[in-house]
Amino acid sequence: MDFIGGNDGVETWQEVMLVYTAAMRQVETKLEILNEEFQHIHQYNPIEHIKTRIKTPESIVQKLRRHGLDSTIENMVNHVNDIAGVRIICSFTSDIYRIVDMIEHQQDLKIIGVKDYITFPKASGYKSYHMIVTVPVYLSDRMVDTKVEIQIRTVAMDFWASLEHKLHYKLEGEAPEHIRQELVECARMVSDLDEKMRTLNDEILALSEEHKLP
């Protein structure tokens, strides 16, 4: 898959892969360090695990075409925000905003976009917290500010989103109405489960603190 070069710091697909992969790794490493520090201070890991991926050339071209744009490096860098993706999976909804707060305090990450689908879920029932950040990637002769999409969601949200994604592509986006409604209902169940687990966790933490008292 060939892209036409541009004047925005990267010229070839190979260099795009290098820069975006480097940015993705930097964000992943930063999150792992923050998780380890949180464990050291609070004896608790807010992050269960981290998934990463680089968007395929075919997927990038499809996205550009949907926006009526040519397949150029310039359009790719300027208009596709999720070439590099980092997904953070945590146990509780309260962890999501705890992680957001940690990311917001990183001086070398610039937040350029936020979509809070936790507070404002999509009509389909989809819930996740999305952030677009830029991270500086230092090459031998220059620095390239590179965009990375960060998604933060609970284990239950991730399970629902993975299932919905599979069904969407199997049915080519044309799911019957009753299946759409069932997925919305499942999303409500996932939300209820997350809230119950968060409440139980808070109660357990309170009880454990009581047991520590002399």
Q: Which residues are within 8 A (CB) of 35 and not within 5 positions of it... i.e. 6 or more apart?
A: 45, 46, 47
pLDDT greater than 70 at residue 214: no
CA distance 97 to 107: 18
Q: Which domains does the chain have, with CATH numbers?
A: 13-156 (3.30.460.10)
For tokens 């080519």, the residue is 172
| 182 assigned to active site | no
The model's pLDDT over 168-208, given as tens digits with 9 standing for 90+, comes to 777 766 778 888 899 999 999 999 999 999 999 889 888 87
The model's pLDDT over 54-113, given as tens digits with 9 standing for 90+, comes to 999 889 999 999 999 998 888 998 999 999 999 999 999 999 999 999 999 999 999 999
Q: Which of 11, 32, 37, 149 is catalytic?
A: 149
The model's pLDDT over 4-49, given as tens digits with 9 standing for 90+, comes to 344 444 457 788 889 999 999 999 999 999 999 999 988 889 999 9
CB contact at 8 A, 23 and 15: no
Amino acid at 23: A
Residue 2, φ and ψ in degrees, nearest 5:
-100, 140
Amino acid at 18: L
